[in-house]
Amino acid sequence: MQGPSDEQRLELGARVEEVTTEGQLEDLLEVIEAMITEDIGPGVELGEGDVEQADNELAAMYAWASVVSYVVVFFYGPTSPFHRMAAGWAKKVVARIQKIANKIAQILRNAVSVVGATGFSISVGAPWPTLAIALNW
C-alpha cells in the first residue's frame, strides 16, 4: 500500500478545477475510490510484529483521506463559489464519501491494534468538509 502517488495527486488536483456540478464531483470521487481500491489490493493480515507495515498502511490511508478532503473542500468549502448553489451536500456525494470511508475502515481495523491503538474513528466534517481519521489510545 503506497497511498496516492505524486502523479495521482497532481492529476486529481487538476481535474477538480474542472468540476462544476455535484454529479461531476461524485464522478471524481468514484475515480478516487477506484484508486484506493487498487492501492489496497488483496490486503494482508498484520501480526503483532508488523508495526512498520501497519504504520505504512495508516500513512497511506491518511494520505488518501487528505485527497478526498481536498476534492470535497474545493467544491463545498466556504470559499468555493459552488457551495452557494444549494444548501448542504448531495446525497450521492455523501454516499460516495461513505463508500470511501468504508474502504479506509477495512485497513484501519487491521492496523490499529498492531500500533497499540484501542480503536479509530472516521468523520466527515462541515463547514470545512473533511474526511478525518483519528486513532484512539
Q: How far apart are the C-alpha atoms of 135 and 103, rounded to whole Å?
A: 16
Q: What is the pLDDT of residues 7-62, one digit of tens each?
A: 999 999 999 999 999 999 999 999 999 999 999 988 767 777 788 888 999 999 99
Percent of the chain with pLDDT over 90: 56
Listed by start position, the domains of the chain span 6-136
The region, left, alpha or beta by phi > 0 then psi within -120 to 50, assigned to residue 8 is alpha
Give the pLDDT of residue 61: 94
Give the pLDDT of residue 124: 83
pLDDT above 70 for 84: no
